[in-house]
């Protein structure tokens, strides 16, 4: 995050935090809980322009976000195509678990290998291969690049061939070892994207092989890719330390989690979520502890809506919490089971506890408009997870449907009859067996919205405008200083367009 130029003093921040605490305490003391439509944020003094606002945030302790939006682990929302596009826009996608462990890991791999940050298995040739053979192989495979690593019989790096070597070589019968550059600048296997960039720049080299102590090849960076990832069009990309797009994946409990996590880690997943409808449960807590003990990876857990649940999961080692029980547009949990808590109060109460442990909170479900994003973050969330607001985009896996001449995409709850009948992952999320299902979600469709990029332009525009009105120049400030008012039904009606026949639809309403 950039350094704050905020006009807010520490003292003022403390006062604002206390004022918001008093607001929510008074509400909960009356046994009331609030949701998005019950509240608005109040405006505050602002010296910043929406374009100068920094919306970087965190998904979990060690997984960052360039924008605080996450796509839901649902089979009509997030597969590789959505995860690639959302990571390119700065967020992260969570690959759903209605895939088998194998298929889910393959989806993660598609995202992780979409960009060439670190090329893990670069193309190498033996030092005795002729230039003619190498050029023929390059043509056959359609490689557009011109730098090849050269190895000896022990697979140790001995040289490199670059475009100049090929261009100036007139005798294609020559062996690689006769024309290659032998003095190769290389790095250790741990070199990250930025360090690689500096090494290549300082040495004016177009590629940087990474080699281990035995001179065996452990990867390769190319200057053009690294520069594009760090500074080019791709500066919005949410990437890991090796320049790969970030991606998360949902897992169940016990054996399901262990089987999936093994495979997901081997494809370099950034984070896993023990994703169930009831996160404050023995299965989730035991699985969370097991995963944290066995693997060096961030583990998020959910879903919850009570502060005591947040405390239990934080103590069990969660690196992130997912808050939301029943706010989702396709959820019927609150109706069929009678449980849950309106989302804004749930976020505030869980985030208050989680912040003591330094654990980020993701507000999952229930968002309808871009204005709900600053409200969720103002209540304490670090990010929002969307299902409905993304299901109608080009990148979602939902099928297209036409209804009365209008284009829609299918969107269904993971606890809907259709999803549970056909998928074990869905049944486990809702702790159900194969027969006599009790659905906790609906199946339906949402209007087609077009490419994610255009949709996000509006969502982030709304977030930035909200932050500008509040006077928060970054996400952390919004989390601290946002102030709420409770609105009545009349206030809600006044908030929406009224007394007008709309003649032209807006792209964000």
Point out which span in 43-51, 113-121, 162-170, 365-373 binds ligand XMP (CB under 6 A). Answer: 365-373
Give the whole-angstrom CA distance, residue 272 versus residue 256.
12
Point out which span in 8-16, 123-131, 171-179, 410-418 binds ligand XMP (CB under 6 A). Answer: 410-418
Does 326 bind ligand XMP (CB under 6 A)? Our answer is yes
Q: b/e for 122-161, b at 16 or more Cβ within 10 A?
A: bebbbbebbbebbeeebeeeeeebebbbbbeeeeebbbbb
CA angle 38, 390, 373 (to 5 degrees): 35
Give the whole-angstrom CA distance, residue 252 versus residue 428.
7
Closest CB 361 distance from ligand XMP, rounded Å: 14
Half-sphere exposure of 196 (CA within 13 A, CB side): 31
Closest CB 71 distance from ligand XMP, rounded Å: 9
Nearer to ligand XMP, 288 or 323 (CB): 323
Q: What kind and span of H or E run contains 43? A: none
Quick one: which of 413, 466, 468, 471 contacts ligand XMP (CB under 6 A)?
413
Does 365 bind ligand XMP (CB under 6 A)? Our answer is yes
Closest CB 248 distance from ligand XMP, rounded Å: 12
465 belongs to the catalytic site:
no
Phi-psi region of 204 (alpha: psi -120 to 50; beta: other; left: phi over 0): left
Point out which span in 10-18, 41-49, 127-135, 407-415 binds ligand XMP (CB under 6 A). Answer: 407-415
Pick out residues in 291-310 that bind ligand XMP (CB under 6 A): 303
Find the helix packing angle between 223-231 and 193-203, rounded to 10°: 120
Tokens of 330: 């396709």
For the window 371-400, what string marks contact with ligand XMP as x by the rule CB under 6 A? --------------xxxxx-----------
| β 217-222/248-251 pair status | unpaired
Closest CB 429 distance from ligand XMP, rounded Å: 8
Nearer to ligand XMP, 49 or 339 (CB): 339
Closest CB 389 distance from ligand XMP, rounded Å: 6
Does 364 bind ligand XMP (CB under 6 A)? Our answer is yes
CA angle 290, 262, 254 (to 5 degrees): 40
Catalytic residue among 427, 429, 464, 479: 429
216 belongs to the catalytic site:
no
Residue nearest to ligand XMP (CB): 441
Phi-psi region of 155 (alpha: psi -120 to 50; beta: other; left: phi over 0): left
Give the whole-angstrom CA distance, residue 320 versus residue 31.
27
Q: How many helices (H) and strands (E) in the chain?
A: 20, 20
Nearer to ligand XMP, 71 or 222 (CB): 71
Closest CB 334 distance from ligand XMP, rounded Å: 8
Pick out residues in 52-81 that bind ligand XMP (CB under 6 A): 72, 74
Q: How many CB atoms lie within 10 A of CB 245?
A: 26
Does 366 bind ligand XMP (CB under 6 A)? Our answer is yes
Please give the full DSSP string across 395-414, using - where no structure is assigned.
TS-PPEEEETTEEEEEEE-T
Does 441 bind ligand XMP (CB under 6 A)? Our answer is yes
Does 193 bind ligand XMP (CB under 6 A)? Our answer is no
With tokens 């003095």, the residue in question is 183
Nearer to ligand XMP, 311 or 443 (CB): 443
Closest CB 133 distance from ligand XMP, rounded Å: 53
Nearer to ligand XMP, 243 or 327 (CB): 327
Catalytic residues: 331, 429
Binding positions for ligand XMP, rule: CB under 6 A: 72, 74, 303, 324, 326, 328-331, 333, 364-367, 385-389, 413-416, 440-441
């Amino acid at each position: 995050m950039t350094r704050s130029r905020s006009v807010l003093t520490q003292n003022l921040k403390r006062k604002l935090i206390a004022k918001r605490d008093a607001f929510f305490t008074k509400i909960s003391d009356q046994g009331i809980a609030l949701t998005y439509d019950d509240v608005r944020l109040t405006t505050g003094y602002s010296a910043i322009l929406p374009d100068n606002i920094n919306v970087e945030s965190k998904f979990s302790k060690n997984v960052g976000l360039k924008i605080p939006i996450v796509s839901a682990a649902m089979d009509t929302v997030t597969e590789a195509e959505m995860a690639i596009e959302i990571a390119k826009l700065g967020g992260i996608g969570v690959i759903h678990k209605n895939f088998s462990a194998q298929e889910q890991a393959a989806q993660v791999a598609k995202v992780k290998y979409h960009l060439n940050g670190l090329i893990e298995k670069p193309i190498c040739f033996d030092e005795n291969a002729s230039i003619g053979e190498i050029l023929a192989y390059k043509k056959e495979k359609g490689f557009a690049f011109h730098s090849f690593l050269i190895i000896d019989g022990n697979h140790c790096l001995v040289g490199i061939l670059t475009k100049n070597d090929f261009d100036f070589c007139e005798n294609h019968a020559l062996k690689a070892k006769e024309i290659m550059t032998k003095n190769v600048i290389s790095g250790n296997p741990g070199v990250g994207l930025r360090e690689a960039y500096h090494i290549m720049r300082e040495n004016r080299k177009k590629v940087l092989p990474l080699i281990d102590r035995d001179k065996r090849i452990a990867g390769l960076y190319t200057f053009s890719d690294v520069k594009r990832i760090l500074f080019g069009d791709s500066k919005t990309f949410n990437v890991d330390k090796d320049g790969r797009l970030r991606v998360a994946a949902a897992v169940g409990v016990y054996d399901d989690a262990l089987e999936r996590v093994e495979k997901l880690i081997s494809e370099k997943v950034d984070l896993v979520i023990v994703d169930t409808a009831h996160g404050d449960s023995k299965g989730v807590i035991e699985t969370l502890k097991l995963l944290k003990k066995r693997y060096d990876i961030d583990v998020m857990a959910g879903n919850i809506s009570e502060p005591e649940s947040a405390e239990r999961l934080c103590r069990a080692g969660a690196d992130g919490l997912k808050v939301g029980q029943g706010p989702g547009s396709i959820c019927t949990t609150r109706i069929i089971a009678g449980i849950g808590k309106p989302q804004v109060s749930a976020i505030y109460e869980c985030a208050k506890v989680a912040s003591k442990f330094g654990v980020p909170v993701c507000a999952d479900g229930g968002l309808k408009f871009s204005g709900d994003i600053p409200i969720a973050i103002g209540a304490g969330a670090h990010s929002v997870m969307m299902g409905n607001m993304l299901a109608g985009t080009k990148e979602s896996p939902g099928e297209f449907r036409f209804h009365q001449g209008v284009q829609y995409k299918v969107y269904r709850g993971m606890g809907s009859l259709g999803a549970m009948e056909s998928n074990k992952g869905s049944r486990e999320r809702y702790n159900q067996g194969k027969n006599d299902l009790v659905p906790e979600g609906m199946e339906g469709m949402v209007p087609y919205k077009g490419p994610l990029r255009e949709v996000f332009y509006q969502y982030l525009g709304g977030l930035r405008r909200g932050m500008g009105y509040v006077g928060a120049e970054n996400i952390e400030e919004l989390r601290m200083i946002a102030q709420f008012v409770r609105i009545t039904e009349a206030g809600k009606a006044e908030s929406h367009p009224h007394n007008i026949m709309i003649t032209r639809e807006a792209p964000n309403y």
